[in-house]
Amino acid sequence: MLKKLQNEIPAANWITEDTEPSLLEPCADVILPLTPKDEKIMKRMIDWVKASQNKVFNANNILTEAIGIAAPQIGENIKMYYILLPIPNKDETITYYEHALINPKIIGRSKQIAYLKKGEGCLSVTNHPHEGLVPRSYKINVTGYDYLKKKKENLTVRGYEAIVFQHEQDHLEGKLFYHHINKDNPWLNDEKWIMI
């Protein structure tokens, strides 16, 4: 059974495609405390990601499984995103890293570059493939107000988690993952980069 924070059932048609100009526009700051409208936007993002990862609700893959979503991806150009990152442990259990950030900022980046071996994908990019490596900082420092913890957070994240944060932060700045792919050589690699 899917436990929702808001009344609507998450649906594929909530997602804004990258053909919409709004995805290429920077987002506005959010006023705290949240208005009822902004709180509903956050709850919709949380519900969407959790529903997409719910093996019972999403048994027929009606939603593309997601680990993160940003407000502009559901048609709201404000600075919020939600991440629910499952990381398998050696004992076959799963640790979930959950962040619901408002007005997040990346305030520090390592010079070390990392990338996902198979490149990145995006809920909003479905009609045309964008293959290639997406170079990201291996370690970042992020600050923002966490909706779930009800306080400002200063986070240091590395590796795969850092890549997810940077992907979602891009959405708030009007960028998509494929804007980082080398146009002349999409699979351009550097021996100093870390593959994840």
Which tens digits make up the pLDDT trace of 62-105?
Answer: 999 999 999 999 999 999 999 999 988 899 899 999 999 999 99
The pLDDT of residue 5: 94
| Residue 128 pLDDT level (bands cut at 50, 70, 90) | confident
Kindly report the pTM of this predicted structure: 0.95
Structural domains of the chain, ranges and CATH numbers in brackets: 13-195 (3.90.45.10)
| Residue 1 pLDDT level (bands cut at 50, 70, 90) | low
Strands of the sheet containing 194-195, edge to edge, are 136-137, 113-115, 194-195
For residue 3, count other CB atoms closer than 10 A to its CB: 8
Strands of the sheet containing 94-109, edge to edge, are 68-70, 80-88, 94-109, 139-146, 151-158
Catalytic position from the list 65, 161, 168, 191: 168
Say if residue 135's pLDDT is above 70.
Answer: yes
Active site residue 168: yes
Q: What is the mean pLDDT of the chain?
A: 95
Say if residue 114's pLDDT is above 90.
Answer: yes
Per-residue pLDDT reduced to its tens digit, 12-25: 999 999 999 999 99
